[in-house]
């Protein structure tokens, strides 16, 4: 029997890439998305890339009746939960909107899942849940301590899901919750076809879309936020991961939830990163080399809330999910650039 996966937020950047990977791996895909930060065009392109169709519902995950109807209609076996808001700055301005969409939205989702007795869940968490640490390489057992409403919404959801899983053990429930909390580092890149990619609204917050919009002439100049960090060249270091590698981690997580490791249920966190960091200046230099385009930049003051250096220890995902990132920085940049050149206005 073909397993059906419900992908919340499947029209978005990471969700659309996950849909391609799921369809290519032989799963049936159902998407629920309210299109608040995405366009239907991404779903059409996923279908064009794979030659397979998606069962799409335009609905908000906070709409319990709409979600219940989807679970009644479709024989869902596992949920990958991407839907949510993700801009750190915006979350400081509109915290309630973030808690409502992310925390309450997830609450409604797991409630409906529970009623439908669907108890396998892969959740999009983030490296932002970690607190500050002396070590720049983060392992899953490091203390949590998000510093903005967006990060705290992810941490609260993690807590809620851990509680849900723990309650199963107390109740000795037969169908135990099986949950993978995937903590993404910095996803960048696009599908190698150039047909789907990241399509930020307005001026991008994140480094890679900003760099690529400067290179194509849509934005004038990149501000490098600080060159006085205690790093090898003074600029911030992050663990950039190709979005296709990242979504492959979700396919592996689904397999793990069905396997021996989660036989008795559980809720485990896994870092998804490459395990190596690059500085902002290294990103610019590699971008210029790979694309042949100049990136106009200036050094600007530090951005509030930024860490000097942050990269993953991804050993646990290798050990327990049999997953590791395979694409290098050149691949990530070449695919970002192809998407940018072929879709200068994104999906519109």
Q: Is the dihedral of CA 330, 334, 340, 341 positive or negative?
A: positive
Beta bridge pairs of residue 224:
299
Residue 160 phi, psi (nearest 5)? -60, -45
Of the candidate spans 130-138, 165-173, 204-212, 332-340, the one that interacts with ligand WQD by CB under 6 A turns out to be 204-212
With binding defined as CB under 6 A, does residue 225 bind ligand WQD? yes
Structural tokens at position 298:
């200036």
Window 148 to 187, contacts with ligand NAD (CB under 6 A): 184, 187
Among 5, 21, 31, 84, binds ligand NAD (CB under 6 A): 84
For residue 318, the minimal CB distance to ligand WQD (Å) is 22
Three-state secondary structure call for residue 324: coil
Of 3, 47, 193, 206, the residue at the interface with ligand WQD (CB under 6 A) is 206
Q: Angle 207-215/329-342 helices, nearest 10 degrees?
A: 50
Residue 13's binding partner out of ligand WQD, ligand NAD, none, with CB under 5 to 8 Å set by partner kind: ligand NAD
Could you tell me which stretch among 8-16, 90-98, 106-114, 338-346 binds ligand NAD (CB under 6 A)? 8-16
- Minimum gap (Å) between residue 4 Cβ and ligand WQD: 27
Catalytic residue (one of 57, 98, 130, 150): 150
Could you say which of 47, 50, 193, 205 contacts ligand WQD (CB under 6 A)?
A: 205
Does residue 303 touch ligand WQD according to CB under 6 A?
Answer: yes
Residues 182-221 that bind ligand NAD (CB under 6 A): 184, 187
Other Cβ atoms within 10 Å of 269 Cβ, number: 21
Helix-helix angle 13-24:40-50, to 10 degrees: 20
Min. distance of Cβ 64 from ligand NAD in angstroms? 12
Q: Is 236 in the site for ligand WQD (CB under 6 A)?
A: yes
Q: Is 201 exposed, middle or buried (0-12, 13-18, 19+ CB in 10 A)?
A: exposed
Active site residue 210: no
Site map (CB under 6 A) of ligand WQD, residues 91-120, x = contact: ------------------------------
Confirm if 15 and 184 have CB atoms less than 8 A apart.
Answer: no
Strand 237-238 vs strand 278-279: parallel, antiparallel, or unpaired? Answer: antiparallel
Q: Which CA distances in Å does 329 have to 137, 188, 238, 245, 336?
A: 18, 9, 12, 12, 11
C-alpha closest to that of 165 among 86, 207, 110: 110
Interface ranges with ligand WQD (CB under 6 A): 86, 88, 126, 128, 186, 205-207, 210, 222-225, 236, 238, 280, 303, 306
Interface ranges with ligand NAD (CB under 6 A): 9, 11-15, 33-38, 60-62, 82-86, 101, 105, 124, 126, 184, 187
């Amino acid at each position: 029997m073909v397993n059906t996966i419900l992908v919340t937020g499947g029209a978005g950047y990471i969700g659309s890439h996950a849909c391609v990977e799921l369809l290519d791996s032989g799963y049936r895909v159902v998407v629920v998305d309210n299109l608040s930060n995405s366009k239907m065009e991404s779903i059409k392109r996923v279908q064009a890339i794979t030659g397979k169709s998606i069962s799409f519902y335009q609905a908000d995950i906070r709409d319990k009746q709409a979600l219940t109807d989807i679970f009644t209609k479709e024989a869902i076996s596992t949920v990958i939960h991407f839907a949510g808001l993700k801009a750190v700055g915006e979350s400081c301005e509109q915290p309630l909107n973030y808690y409502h969409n992310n925390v309450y939205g997830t609450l409604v989702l797991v409630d409906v899942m529970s009623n439908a007795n669907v108890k396998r869940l892969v959740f999009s968490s983030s490296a932002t849940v970690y607190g500050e640490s002396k070590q720049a390489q983060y392992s899953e057992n490091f203390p949590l301590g998000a510093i903005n409403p967006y990060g705290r919404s992810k941490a609260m959801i993690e807590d809620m899901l851990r509680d849900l899983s723990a309650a199963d053990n107390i109740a000795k429930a037969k169908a135990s919750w099986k949950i993978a909390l995937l903590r993404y580092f910095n996803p960048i890149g696009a599908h190698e076809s150039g047909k789907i990619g990241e399509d930020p609204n307005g001026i991008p917050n994140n480094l890679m879309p900003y760099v690529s919009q400067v290179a194509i002439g849509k934005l004038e100049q990149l501000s490098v936020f600080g060159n006085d960090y205690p790093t090898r060249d003074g600029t911030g270091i992050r663990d950039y991961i190709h979005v296709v590698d990242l979504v492959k981690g979700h396919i592996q997580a689904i397999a793990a939830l069905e396997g021996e490791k989660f036989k008795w249920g559980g809720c485990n966190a896994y870092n998804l990163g490459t395990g190596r960091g690059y500085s902002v200046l290294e990103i610019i230099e590699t971008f210029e080399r790979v694309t042949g385009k100049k990136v106009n930049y200036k050094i600007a003051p530090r951005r509030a809330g930024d860490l000097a250096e942050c990269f993953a220890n991804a050993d646990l995902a290798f050990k327990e999910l049999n997953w590791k990132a395979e694409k290098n920085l050149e691949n990530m940049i070449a695919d970002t650039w192809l998407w940018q050149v072929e879709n200068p206005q994104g999906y519109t």
